[in-house]
Chains A and B, each alone.
Chain A
Amino acid sequence: MAIEFKQVNYLYKSFLHENSFSLNNLSLSINSGEFILVAGQTGSGKTTFLRLLDTLILPSNGEINFDGQIINNSSPEKILMKVRRNFGFVFQFPQRQLFSPTVLDDVEFAALNFGNNKAEASKKAKEVLKQIGIEEDLWEHSVFNLSVGQMRKVAIAGALVNQPKYLLLDEPTSGMDEYAKNDLLKILNYFHEQGATIIAVSHDINTLAPLVDRAIIFRRGKIISDNNPTKIFSKPMNADIQPPSTVSFARSIGLKSTPLSIDELADEIEAINE
């Protein structure tokens, strides 16, 4: 067990009404090396969950155990920084966080902040840029002269530069075409194979469901399903989440199985034909 939420509440302050629960009495464990999809309707508490994981916000009540380090609403900044060191967070539209004069400088930023010297930071940044697939001749370019796709990759490199144990992604595929999605999935698979725990909040069930080991579905700040995606999508779904289109198609032609990808669906159909 790597991370454990113990009866965590998070209250959002409201100007006019009672403070509302964004997360309500949340208890769950996240194991090392898992690839988790977090889904649910807008406003169900998914992004709050990610922000709590990265200690950007603290629980209103309850506590979170990060590999033995307990975080609650009175944890000091120094401890939070220590925990945060293990996380890489790729926000929705991550290109908006870029600011440095060059690509290399921007990727080095997190490495320098987390205690590396300039030479180490530069080495780490160059390694991750190669892994992400940013060509060397772009490293000294201004981040603002890159295409949106390249900017996204640089921002992702910036989150991965410290080789984090946990990678958090908020709507990672939003606004991406199929090629860019494939590129991103390759990157995620690579880091997952290296042992990183990946937690992705997404509405893009079609893309992520075939890859993940576990799916957690939120509704109004509570977990309503937590299982492997095949088990979750084999049951009739409610309005909180649509199953992958391959599952809907399989059902429409009378298949009882739950194919999460086109390949699985093709295998099922082939098996019937045989």
Chain B
Amino acid sequence: MNNIFGRFLPTDSLLGKLDPRTKIVIDFFFVIILLFANSWLTYGILIFFVAFAIYCSKIPIKVFWLGLRSILSLVILMMLIQLLLTAPSDQSDILISFGWLRISSTGLINSIIIALRFFLMIFMTTVLTVTTPSTSIADGISSLLKPLSKIGLDTKTFALLISMTLRFVPILSDEFSTIVDAQRSRGLSLKTGSIVKRTKTLIPMIIPLISVAFKKALTLADTMEIRGFIDAKSRTSFHQLKFQKIDLIVLIIFTVISFSIVYFSYAKL
């Protein structure tokens, strides 16, 4: 149970009590606001906001680190691309020069910014998923998308798809661990050999995972059909969403932070 993505961890935190719609809206706009940030001050505000959200979630920081660790290699790769491929603006911008390889301070700053954006985005989405059950996320998305159903979009199915995706990530992750163990017991080594050999080790793990995923999906489709999901009439939810005063306060705080980010980023230019 090392993969935290999509797992709900029940606590009695303030964030756990918030309306899922509040958290979804904040998460959505946080990603947009993140793109506005362009100075250390604006990033500082966002880092403080995320740190405060983590503190309020009452989830240990190591849990967030686990979420991050799984994509760390991707972030490092993106940092390297930025670092190596960003052309220096002028001669004084060059930090290290080695043959054709030139590392500039602009490239270094860009790579740090890329990593920072990724980390903040992952932390915020993890805050949402660890403090909100997948059914509540689906209910929240369904409720937020409701207005679109008036123009003919099947919002309920869309919300269900998202809920199932979130629900299936930890299930398939556990299944994957078992498959990895099974192949390791048959002599597959993930830690020895060349890069090519190690890449090839993915095949005995991915193919059974796809096979298991298809079987689970087919079983799920059958059980849903048996229980009359297809062509069912519009249904009510057992869990009613409640937008409370605390949701309003949190949204106001987030709105103030969002405007301050926009202000500090552009208004002074």
Contact = CB atoms under 8 A, between A and B. Distances in A.
A273 B257 CA distance: 89
A15 to B, nearest CB: 5
A97 B183 contact: yes
Interface string A77-117: 11001001101110100101111100000000110111000
A132 interface: no
Name the interface size band of chain B. Answer: 20 to 34
B186 interface: yes
B182 A113 contact: no
A98 B208 contact: yes
Nearest to B10: A16
Most chain A beta-carbon contacts within 10 A, residue among B4, B63, B185, B205: B185
B187 A110 contact: yes
Interface stretch (B97-105, B188-196, B239-247): B188-196
Interface string B204-225: 1101100110000000000000
Contacts of A13: 1-2
B186 A109 contact: yes
A113 B186 contact: yes
Interface string A227-256: 000000000000000000000000000000
Nearest to A111: B187
Contact of B208 (A97, A113, A114): A97
B205 to A, nearest CB: 8
Contacts of B212: 96
A133 B36 CA distance: 66
Contacts of A110: 186-187
B188 A77 contact: no
Contacts of B183: 97
- Mostly, the B contact residues are helix
B255 interface: no
Contacts of B151: none
B203 interface: yes
Contact of B189 (A81, A96, A97): A81
Nearest to B180: A56
Contacts of B205: 99
Given A16-B11, A85-B187, A51 B181 contact: yes
Contact of B4 (A15, A56, A98, A112): A15
Contact of B185 (A15, A84, A96, A100): A84
A66 interface: no
Interface string B8-40: 010100000000000000000000000000000
Contacts of A112: 187
A87 B210 CA distance: 27
Contacts of A87: 185
A91 B178 contact: yes
A159 interface: yes
A99 B185 contact: no
Contacts of A109: 186-187, 204
Contacts of A88: 185
B146 interface: no
Given A87-B185, A96-B179, A77 B203 contact: no
A94 B182 contact: yes
A21 interface: no
17 contacts: A15-B4, A15-B66, A16-B11, A54-B185, A56-B184, A77-B189, A89-B185, A89-B186, A94-B182, A96-B208, A96-B211, A99-B205, A100-B204, A110-B186, A113-B187, A113-B188, A159-B185
Interface of A: 12-13, 15-16, 51, 54, 56, 77-78, 81, 84-85, 87-89, 91, 94, 96-100, 109-110, 112-114, 144, 158-159
